[in-house]
Amino acid sequence: MTPLFDRDSLPRDHMRSLHLRGRRFPAMTNKRKRTPKQTPPTPPTPQTLDRHSLNRSKARAWAWAWAPLKLTRDELSLPLTFPTGQTFRWKNTAPLQYTGVVGPHLISLKHLQNGDVSYCLHSHTDPDHAHSALLDFLNAAVSLPDLWTTFSASDARFAELARHLSGARVLRQDPFECLIQFLCSSNNNISRITNMVNYVSSLGTHVGDVSGFHFHAFPSLQQLSSVSDQQLRDAGFGYRAKYIIGTVNALQSKPGGGEQWLRSLRNLDLQDVISALSTLPGVGPKVAACIALFSLDQHHAVPVDTHVWRIATKYLLPELAGSKLTPKLCERVAEAFVTKYGKYAGWAQTLLFIAELPSQKALLPSHLSTIKHVKQRNAAKLEDTEEEIG
């Protein structure tokens, strides 16, 4: 029988359609693969969205924006607090702005036009903890205007100085950080101290850069223990290298850890604090008093150097004028300050010390200067020199 049509004569597309009609699907070669069914992600709840949104907004607001610190210039003057010898780790990063590290937090402080202080958190750390740590570091619980009023009532010269130098605040630094900085200060000048402190700081964790300055968290006792005497000498520390290495070794042997031991000194009387600190290599009476005042809550500690000695012999102990400063006389000077200014004598001494710095003398009326007609070269030397007594 002759077929109704010749399969070979049909167009190829026509033949494909006949196969489809006959359900000859197994003969198809370009079979489409099925996409496995995917389970859609669980949508976030409104509570989750609100929490994440709040955390991101809060982090952005605190980490990159300026916020009021609620301290006036009378409570905190940045130029009278940071570059005046208490700490060497804060940098002048803009006009009336200083930047430093408190624990793991990189923070800038600046004065607004009305004198109030605002701050900016640069690091991605907890903003609430950073704010609390900053206030603690600044000793914000102490009312500076109240102290100045008390001191001024019994000292007319202090009252006049305070009008020109208000806001000179005593810091509450980490004790280990403060100790290492003042080991660097022994018989040294501000420029070299700063370079040494910068080197030690660079051994800690880098936390960020501001205005071209590199900032690090201060190295822990464990981190500093890996540094050798030779490394410090190569970095320009000289004989101070052995003091730092010796102190680090001594702290490592303390029960419970050296950093905890240092913090525990906040609970002791001043004389016990001075005695304990003086067991560490390189720590004499003046360095011990600085550490006690600037980190260990010993508000009546009075570091005595040539500046303070001149103040004391002119205003508190004139009978000692012309005498050579000795450790015994240092104790007598400190006692005279406490008798005059009470349990916050160290804060009073800090303002009187700042008034003697050449950078501040230029801002004061001439009659308030302890030593008049000092040549500029000698004035610069006074500002840069740090003597260690004992």
Check: CB of residue 217 under 8 Å from CB of residue 101: yes
Name the pTM for this structure: 0.79
User: In terms of domains, do 123 and 152 share one?
Assistant: no
pLDDT reported for residue 188: 85
DSSP lists the bridge partners of residue 100 as 107
**Structural domain contains residue 87:** yes
Report the CATH number that the domain containing residue 84 is assigned in CATH: 3.30.310.40
CA distance 307 to 357: 8
Last residue of a domain, one of 141, 176, 192: 141
Query: Which among 33, 286, 343, 375 is annotated as catalytic?
Result: 286
User: In terms of domains, do 377 and 266 share one?
Assistant: yes
Check if 286 is active-site: yes
CA distance 180 to 223: 13
In the predicted model, is pLDDT for residue 358 greater than 80? yes
User: In terms of domains, do 124 and 152 share one?
Assistant: no
Contacts of 274 (CB under 8 A, 6+ apart): 285, 288, 289, 292, 301
Last residue of a domain, one of 90, 109, 141: 141
> How many helices (H) and strands (E) in the chain?
19, 7
In the predicted model, is pLDDT for residue 28 greater than 50? no
Give the CA angle between residues 133, 137, 142 to the nearest 5°: 115
User: In terms of domains, do 134 and 168 share one?
Assistant: no
CA distance 11 to 15: 7
Task: Report how far apart the first and last C-alpha atoms of the chain are (Å, whole number).
Answer: 130
Domain that holds residue 112: 60-141
User: In terms of domains, do 269 and 297 share one?
Assistant: yes
User: In terms of domains, do 118 and 193 share one?
Assistant: no
Coil/strand/helix, residue 101: strand
In the predicted model, is pLDDT for residue 356 greater than 90? no
Q: What is the DSSP string of 154-192?
A: H-HHHHHHHHHSTT-PPP---HHHHHHHHHHTTTB-HHH
pLDDT reported for residue 190: 87
CA distance 186 to 350: 18
**Structural domain contains residue 390:** no
Count CB-CB contacts under 10 A for residue 333.
22
Last residue of a domain, one of 110, 141, 172: 141
**Structural domain contains residue 32:** no
Domain count for the chain: 2
Kindly report, residue by residue over 137-179, the tens digit of the pLDDT: 999 999 999 999 999 999 999 999 999 999 999 999 999 999 9
pLDDT reported for residue 38: 54
